[in-house]
């Protein structure tokens, strides 16, 4: 997976920290599915247009 790759959010992702809205473009910061040191349900660490980091599933985005 290439870092700095851009994705489009498929559906709204709501958390207690805010909402990442559908059709928003995000940039890949880290592909955590390849890491041997992290576990959990989030697979991508992405940054939105404002610079906020989000931990999301790869099924919630599609490539631009």
Fold of 6-63: SH3 type barrels. (2.30.30)
pLDDT the model gives residue 50: 93
Phi, psi of 61, rounded to the nearest 5 degrees: -135, 160
Q: Which residue has the higher pLDDT, 4 or 29?
A: 29
Residues 5-57 pLDDT 10s: 999 999 999 988 899 999 999 999 988 776 666 566 778 899 999 999 999 98
CA–CA distances in Å: residue 39 to residues 1, 25, 33, 36, 57:
18, 25, 8, 8, 13
Q: What are phi and psi of 23, to 5 degrees?
A: 70, 10
pLDDT at 34: 67
Sequence ranges of the domains in the chain? 6-63
* pTM exceeds 0.85, yes or no: no
């Amino acid at each position: 997976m290439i870092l700095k790759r851009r994705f489009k959010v498929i559906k709204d992702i709501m958390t207690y920290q805010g909402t990442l809205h559908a059709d928003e473009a995000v940039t890949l910061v880290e592909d955590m599915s390849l890491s041997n040191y992290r576990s959990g349900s989030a697979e991508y660490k992405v940054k939105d247009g404002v610079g906020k980091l989000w931990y999301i599933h790869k099924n919630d985005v599609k490539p631009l």
